[in-house]
Amino acid sequence: MKLKYIIYLLLPACFMGTGCKKWLDVQPKSDIREQELFNSESGFKDALIGAYQLLATRPAYGQNLSMGFVDAMGQRYATSSTSHPFYATSRYDYTNTGVKNYINTIWSTLYKAIANVDNVLMQIDGKKQLFLNNNYNLVKGEALALRALLHFDLLRLFGAAPVVDGNRKAIPYVTSFGIESYPLLPVNEVIDSCLADLNLAAELLSVDKTVRNAFNEDPFLSYTRNHMNYWAVKGLQARIHLYKGDKTAAAAAAGEVISSAPEYFPFVSSAAAAATNNRDRPYTTELLFSLYAYKINEYVDDYFKTTAANGTPVLYTTNTNLNNVYETASGGSSDLRYVNLFTSYPSGFSTTKYWQDAITSEPLKGHIPMIRLSEMYYIAAECAPTPAEGMAYINTVRSNRGLAQRPVNVSAATLEAEILKEYKKEMYAEGQLFFYFKRKNTARVDGSTINMSDATWILPLPDDEMEFAIRP
């Protein structure tokens, strides 16, 4: 089977004037002709910014691939009512019209973003002379890293887990821009392509490992947590190697991030996590990579707030489930995440992780977490030579979340259980839990009564997958 893509360029531009205080805090200005776009360094930067903007919208990570569709598959919310928008999603009914629309939208949006970064990559080597300082390396490195990130998430959705069948065909790995046919590649080949792109990206981005948390004279070098920076590449390498089952490589990549964390990614302070004004809800200092969503209020208010009298937001969890997740009956009531990131409604609790209330500090606005420091600790724990060494990593996160240390002399099964608990606590509404269970090929996703199989783990390709178009 081959998938044919007829892809037309649609690259939103960013006006990079002095009034742009945050490099993603802009709306698309206009469509730009390709020949004009790539005649300057700023044009390449604008093209890449356009890809980031696209990924921060509802169809991609602004909702579907973070707090919404994928977390509904991860059983994060109460969806028992047949009228709930994620009722069919949480039951893995991929024949449902609404679910099929989510699937089609995710597929087309991510491949559209891939087309845009591919166009950057196809043009950039021939225009290297346009770039100053390290900017050629940074733009090309970020584009390669984004291509790997997007293909990997498509693989996690539309392909079999490697532990099940790494040789089964899954998705195409698209590396050119234009009218092309791309064959479906086996899972392991897609992973190898992702890692190849990341290896080159790491080499290019190593020229500048600084994480900038403020506006820079060059807007492209501002707020670089919102870039696929060097550390984000290392974090993604760790994630992919673990998914593949290569614990040695996963541990090495995660370890590099952990060793540099005090300088670049310090754990959030309890004061910042609990502040009345400018509360650091997403723990921004710990984010290796996040997308900046300038419309985040629209995305979040739809799901996690309500103005109805005695109403409950669309996405909430029950009091029982929340207490179970955070283990409040056994010391978990002091957890910073439990105390500061949820608010109560008549029927349960909704997360405030994405709320923008009382946020006036630019570095705290609009974050969609993509890769966290804590995940590096969980990966290191899972890949540790002994359960005791693994628990030491878990205890580091626990102590920074206001929790008591666990005994380190535990069994491998106990360590695994503690890692899962942490994924549930840390990545609520971030779209990662479903992929944890899929990687493990568990019999069920916690919270579901449905027995998992290929039919539930793997999203079906869109109905028009033989030939679809992305057009303005």
Q: What is the pLDDT of residue 397?
A: 98
User: For residue 273, is it within any domain?
Assistant: yes
- CA 447 to the chain's CA centroid: 22
244-291: pLDDT as tens digits: 999 999 999 999 999 999 999 999 999 999 999 999 999 999 999 999
Whether 28 has a pLDDT exceeding 90, the answer reads no
Q: What is the DSSP string of 34-73?
A: HHHHTTSHHHHHHHHHHHHHHHTSIIIIITTTTTSHHHHH
- Which residue, among 460, 455, 416, has the nearest Cα to 436 in the 3D structure? 416
Q: What is the pLDDT of residue 214?
A: 85
Instruction: State the Cα–Cα distance between residues 446 and 204, nearest whole angstrom.
Output: 40
Q: Domain count for the chain, please give it.
A: 1
Model pTM? 0.92
Q: Which residue has the tokens 């039919």?
A: 455
Helical residues (DSSP H) of 266-318, grouped into ranges: 270-274, 296-304
Q: Regarding beta strands 467-470 and 2-7, do their DSSP bridges make them parallel or antiparallel, or are they unpaired?
A: parallel
User: For residue 211, is it within any domain?
Assistant: yes
69-118: pLDDT as tens digits: 999 999 999 999 999 999 999 999 999 999 999 999 999 999 999 999 99
Q: Find the domain containing 440 and state its range.
A: 2-281+288-297+356-385+426-455
User: For residue 371, is it within any domain?
Assistant: yes
Q: What is the mean pLDDT of residues 126-134?
A: 95
Instruction: Return mean pLDDT, the chain.
Output: 91
- 178: domain CATH number? 1.25.40.390
CB 7 within 8 A of CB 182: no
Whether 56 has a pLDDT exceeding 50, the answer reads yes
299-310: pLDDT as tens digits: 999 999 998 888
Q: What's the pLDDT band for 65 if we cut at 50, 70, 90?
A: very high
Question: 373: Cβ–Cβ under 8 A, 6 or more apart, which residues?
Answer: 257, 258, 261, 265, 267, 286, 287, 288
The alpha carbon dihedral of 297, 298, 300, 306 has a sign of positive
User: For residue 403, is it within any domain?
Assistant: no
Q: Residue 247: phi, psi to the nearest 5?
A: -70, -30
Whether 461 has a pLDDT exceeding 70, the answer reads yes
User: For residue 212, is it within any domain?
Assistant: yes
User: For residue 225, is it within any domain?
Assistant: yes
Instruction: State the Cα–Cα distance between residues 283 and 265, nearest whole angstrom.
Output: 10
Q: What is the largest CA-CA distance in the chain?
A: 62
41: its two tokens: 């360094």
User: For residue 362, is it within any domain?
Assistant: yes
Q: What is the mean pLDDT of residues 167-185?
A: 89
User: For residue 399, is it within any domain?
Assistant: no
